[in-house]
Structure 1
Amino acid sequence: MIRIKWGEALKRRQLVVAVALAVGTLTVPTGQPAPAAAAAERTPGGWYAQLPTELRVCDGDGWNGGPSVAPDGSVVVPAGDNTGFNFGQTGQTYWFAPGVHTLGTGEYSTVTPGSGSSYLGAPGAVLDGMNANKYAFAGPATDVRIAYLEIRNFGRGLDNNNEGVINHNASNDWLMEFLYAHHNDGAAVFLGSLNTIRDSCLKDNGQYGVSMYDDQVEGDSAIKGIVVDNNEIVGNNQDDWETREPGCGCTGGVKFWDVKGATVTANYVHDNLSVGLWADTNNIDFLFDSNWIEHNQSVGIWYEISYNATMSRNVFKRNGWVSGNQNLGSPSPAIYISESGGDARLQHSITGSPNLDIRNNLFEDNFSGVSIYENANRFCNANGNTSKTYCTPFVSPTVIPPPYDFDYLDPINATHPCYTSIANEPYRSDCRWHSRDVKVFSNEFRFDQAKVPCAGTYCGAQALIATGADNLPWMPYTVSGIQQDVMFNNGNSFHDNAYFGDWRFARGWGDTISWNTWRAAPYNQDAGSTLDGASGPPPIANALDVDTATLEGSLGKWSPWFGCTLERVADAAHSGGYGLRVALTGASFGVSLANWPGFTANPGGKRVSLWARQGTSPGVTTATLSVRWFNADQVLLATDVVPITGLTPNWQEFTAQLTAPSTAATVFLELTGGGGATGNTLLLDDLVVADQQ
């Protein structure tokens, strides 16, 4: 369905090509661009230097560009009260004469289109709902075009919550273009399958500029193949629904729901009173390209329990300032990836990648950068699944059968395999959404703390984190396990980015670490990246290997020396899933590494730390960690002592600032203690010998 004139089509194509050429190639590559190409896309003075005039749709007058006289054969709609006008002919063109058009005072008075028809406005044509009519265009018709109209004041206050004004029924094959839709309640525009909204100003609407919802088709997405292109989306959520319904997740410039295949390009999304672009629940195969996303009160792009997206060549500036300060316990990033990622089993024809790729974007002075997050309690049948009857796209049927009580802990009355078989594959994997295969590369991240109203620990942060609670005895997941997956096992990576400013990095529960620690083992993030133009090898974040430090994969290099036995056990974990238990067989004990003369080390300042607690009480109260430094010839240079005193049944961190000798090549550890008794246990975890930052 294309009824645009050839002159308009040429102008439209020239605009798209010009924008694409300004930011780089029109082709969406399937892999990482060459470094030179990536740098060229970020060159100052081009797309990233200044907002293109073409994106300031609301400053233009495009909606007044319709035909000044009625097209041949069209039906003329006179200005004034159009109550009872027959808008339902099929295959017809309707021409709205200049002036204000109304539809009477009936709540459900609306334009009900005929299939295959067009509704065009003359310059100055306005369709006004007078805050009396709920919907401007509604009904099941397909193949409809609406263009060159100002559409305003539809909705009856808060009655339009979660409803759409234009294409209220989310019908298929609609083209909506050159519209000025403003001060409508609910969403100005609803999208159905094969819908396009473009070249329009969507401003100051009560809930959304654009949204969509359709009843889910079992085993498939409800809405397919939508295009949101070259719109200005500004000032939406005027009715402040997040305050009226706390936690509703029901606001934004655009809210996508259950869509398979979306192209979101060259939009100016700014100053919305919530999220800019929000894809929530089983959205698949999205391209966000060449958008300018600025000064939205909350997240710039939020991709939530959804899969397979490419976010490329976008500009993010000053997003999340309000929400970042309102909720200090959670990041308010420019891009929020929440239980989302890539999966090759799902459609990715539009994205060009089976991953979730975030590449060649500019981030400047947002509250934080990119957050990759997973809630351990968010899976199909859990109380953390805010989508209630929705399950992941891998589970069939995708609608969980009754009962829908998500507060009880005993799932014995449910028959869905996400209840009955969740401990077994494939349900263990496919009954939850995962943050995985998220690749963040070839981006430019700028952050000036003097310009951003910072508060809390997440301001100016990148994040790979997971939270939740181990409060459902039947669930096969743990918070620590999900944290390990998000950080180490799910293929999430930052690399080849350019950072400018005072950045920090969050892991685990959200505790922040430095640039050097983030890049070093065991995290190994941002390989090939630079900070303020500098690269080079980072300082050693831990001389010990991962298993010796954290016990997650094995006993590491630990060996019993005398008076004890050693065991790697789950109930000895300070973080992660495992720790080291020292079980005494006498009054005194000794533990040492089994790799004399130890791990590779370098000279200079060191921070040594470990966590310890009594495994039995009363028990061991005092121990000593001896840190021995050797040169390359395995000659002992010095021994430093870290006292471990006042041990209790609670975890405590013991630290020391040391200096390795100038010719140090290795470090060797020994732990000794006395005053205990046979059967006493001492628990150890998270041992670090690191370069001082």
Structure 2
Amino acid sequence: MSHTRSAARRRRGAVVATAVGLALVAACQVGVVPVADDGSGSGGVGPSAGAPTGPVAAVCDNTVPGPAEPPAGAVVVRAGVVGDLPEQVDANPPGTVFWLEPGTHTMTPDQYASVEPKDGDTFVGAPGAVLDGRGVNQYAFVSTAADVTVRHLVVTGFVAPADQGVVNHDSGDGWVVEHNTIEKNRGAGLMAGARQVVRGNCLRDNGQYGMNAYQPGNGITDLVVEGNEIVGNNTDDWEARVEGCGCTGGVKFWAVDGADVRGNWVHDNRGPGLWGDTNNNDFLVEGNVIEDNDGEALFYETSYNMVLRDNVIRRNAIVSGRTFAQDTDDFPVGAVYLSESGGEPRVPARTDRIEITGNLFEDNWSGITLWENADRFCNSAANTSTGNCTLLVPDVAECSQPAIASEPLYSDCRWKTQRVDIHGNTFTADPAVTGCAPGYADRMAVLSNVGTYPDWSPYMGDVVQRAIVADQDLTWRDNTYVGAWTFLVASTGRVVPVAEWQGGPHPQDSGSTFEPGPSDGGC
């Protein structure tokens, strides 16, 4: 299975970052609640530690310009001379600085013609420097070289195949990609490697993803995604082309261990804004504005240990929610969707749970969905992350009968939605925004399906359904609700009002407040 794949239908199927350069374009700031910096710069998980101090900036069309003159000792790359950049890189030693003069830079008209950096190379664009694939070249920068820097360039017109990327195609480690505009390419605008810093970029209108954070082998560690505008990606509408591919959105993360995602404006992507798919761990997602994405603001799938705090999350999943409603599919499409994901103390991280706190959820299709597919576990054919096991079991083959029927494998072969703490958030719901969809929108959910497959599964029946409701430490508390919210418990068929949500056999939202919302807008 492709590393981008996920369930076709939901029902079935540590880094320390520097402060974000968000004062780049004060005149083009977008509204987000500022979050305080405790001054430590620790990037830890205390209250607002290391969070941006100012609003998120609109980067696209306002990226920081590069130097108008070549830096001392830099090799000058001529615009309008076909293939000059690859030739200069080939002719110079590792660690060279290349300054691309103003104008358009191209490569020979061969689909595989590209730049092959050496360790420590730096590429700096002058104001107006454009690297253009002209709809012919597949990749801009290809190499496993380490510690490469790409700054102040416009990279456009490259035609990478599906699931592949244009910048850092081979997922080299230690790259710094900052203050670029990477737009209107096929595939992903860029890939990621370990210790990569992606800061202050415009990742816009790429065919599949703004960034595909995937590296073959051991996966990516210590990734920073900071102060970027990530907008309009998946222009090729991959879900329509390959139904159920799970291969769309603003950014896709796969097996990333340690990521700081902060101060970004993630909006108007076709699909989810941010999607963590399969064995991600130790994420800090803070101080972002995530809005107007067709799918979820954040989809965190078969993954572990995360803090989601101090974000503005608004008007997400309305397109996908309406699609479900039109199909009379009553699965709760949330702004934040945790699918077989939770806290796990045995997987080292800065936190041992998923904490969702201090966020403003405004007029999304629904709120937060906590879901676990009883049929999706390691070595099950229903596991669409084919060939992958949980981080607690090294060998897929271990998860088979008779061993899987007993501990520890009975517990450890499942990705569990567990140890989730949802507190101190504000949730607003305006039915006029979501399109007047009573029974489908404005819901919170904690649920599972009845286990039916495969026939040797030890999780048949309502085993997982009962566990997710009663035994897996899932807590809503001290939140503020505005609007007519309803709550799904155990299954889509059990919708409960506030009184039962708070006072039932497994009470939720202790200390929370509930206020009436705006008028129904004529619904």
Q: Judge same fold: TM > 0.5, yes or no.
A: yes
Determine which of 477, 493, 496 is the counterpart of 1:513.
496
**Contact 1:188 1:210 (C-alpha < 8 Å) held by counterparts:** yes
* 1:117 shift after superposition: 1.0
Q: Which structure has more RCO (C-alpha within 8 Å, separation ≥ 6)?
A: 2
Structure 1 residues 276 and 527: CA distance shift in structure 2, 3 A: same
* 1:468 shift after superposition: 4.5
The CA distance in 2 between the partners of 1:100 and 1:205, in whole Å, is 19
Secondary structure of 2:149's partner? Answer: strand
**Contact 1:57 1:200 (C-alpha < 8 Å) held by counterparts:** yes
Secondary structure of 2:109's partner? Answer: coil
Does 2:252 align with 1:250? no
2:170 alignment partner in structure 1: 169
* 1:453 shift after superposition: 1.7
1:356 alignment partner in structure 2: 354
1:153 alignment partner in structure 2: 157
**Contact 2:151 2:179 (C-alpha < 8 Å) held by counterparts:** yes
Q: TM-score, normalised by structure 2?
A: 0.88
Structure 1 residues 460 and 451: CA distance shift in structure 2, 3 A: same
Residue 524 of structure 1 aligns with an amino acid whose one-letter code is P
Determine which of 137, 148, 155 is the counterpart of 1:144.
148
- List alignment gaps of at least 5 residues for structure 2: 1-17, 518-523
Deviations 1:252-305 (A, max 9, x none): 100000010000000000000110000000000000000000000010000000
Q: TM-score, normalised by structure 1?
A: 0.67
1:24 alignment partner in structure 2: 36
* 1:86 shift after superposition: 2.9
Residue 369 of structure 2 aligns with an amino acid whose one-letter code is S
2:87 alignment partner in structure 1: 85
* 1:432 shift after superposition: 1.0
The CA distance in 2 between the partners of 1:11 and 1:381, in whole Å, is 42
The CA distance in 2 between the partners of 1:422 and 1:142, in whole Å, is 42
Determine which of 76, 94, 98 is the counterpart of 1:94.
98
* 1:419 shift after superposition: 4.6
Residue 21 of structure 2 aligns with an amino acid whose one-letter code is R
Residue 22 of structure 1 aligns with an amino acid whose one-letter code is P
Secondary structure of 1:23's partner? Answer: coil
- List alignment gaps of at least 5 residues for structure 1: 1-8, 401-414, 535-693
* 1:483 shift after superposition: 1.2
Does 2:213 align with 1:224? no
1:457 alignment partner in structure 2: 439
Structure 1 residues 110 and 474: CA distance shift in structure 2, 3 A: same
Q: Larger Rg: 1 or 2?
A: 1
**Contact 1:335 1:369 (C-alpha < 8 Å) held by counterparts:** yes
Deviations 1:36-92 (A, max 9, x none): x9xxx9xxxx99xxx93x421114132xx1111111111110001342523143010
* 1:451 shift after superposition: 2.0
Residue 134 of structure 1 aligns with an amino acid whose one-letter code is Q
Deviations 1:187-216 (A, max 9, x none): 001001000111000000000001122223
The CA distance in 1 between the partners of 2:279 and 2:359, in whole Å, is 24
Secondary structure of 1:58's partner? Answer: coil
Secondary structure of 2:152's partner? Answer: strand
2:5 alignment partner in structure 1: none
**Contact 2:20 2:263 (C-alpha < 8 Å) held by counterparts:** no
* 1:509 shift after superposition: 1.4
* 1:512 shift after superposition: 1.3
More strand by share: 1
1:561 alignment partner in structure 2: none
2:192 alignment partner in structure 1: 191
Does 2:21 align with 1:12? yes
Secondary structure of 1:487's partner? Answer: helix
**Contact 1:367 1:454 (C-alpha < 8 Å) held by counterparts:** no
The CA distance in 2 between the partners of 1:479 and 1:207, in whole Å, is 38
1:132 alignment partner in structure 2: 136
2:506 alignment partner in structure 1: 523
Let me know the Cα RMSD of the aligned residues. Answer: 2.5
Secondary structure of 1:146's partner? Answer: strand
The CA distance in 1 between the partners of 2:430 and 2:269, in whole Å, is 23
Secondary structure of 2:431's partner? Answer: coil
Query: What are the residue-to-residue correspondences of 1:282-293 with 2, within 5 Å?
Result: 282-293=279-290
Query: What are the residue-to-residue correspondences of 1:567-582 with 2, within 5 Å?
Result: none
* 1:359 shift after superposition: 0.3
Query: What are the residue-to-residue correspondences of 1:5-404 with 2, within 5 Å?
Result: 12=21, 22-26=34-38, 52=55, 54-62=56-64, 65-83=65-83, 85-88=87-90, 89-155=93-159, 160-217=161-218, 222-328=219-325, 329=329, 330-349=331-350, 353-397=351-395, 400=396
* 1:151 shift after superposition: 0.4
Does 2:482 align with 1:496? no
The percentage of aligned residue pairs carrying the same residue is 40
The CA distance in 2 between the partners of 1:322 and 1:11, in whole Å, is 31
Residue 431 of structure 1 aligns with an amino acid whose one-letter code is C
Structure 1 residues 10 and 295: CA distance shift in structure 2, 3 A: closer
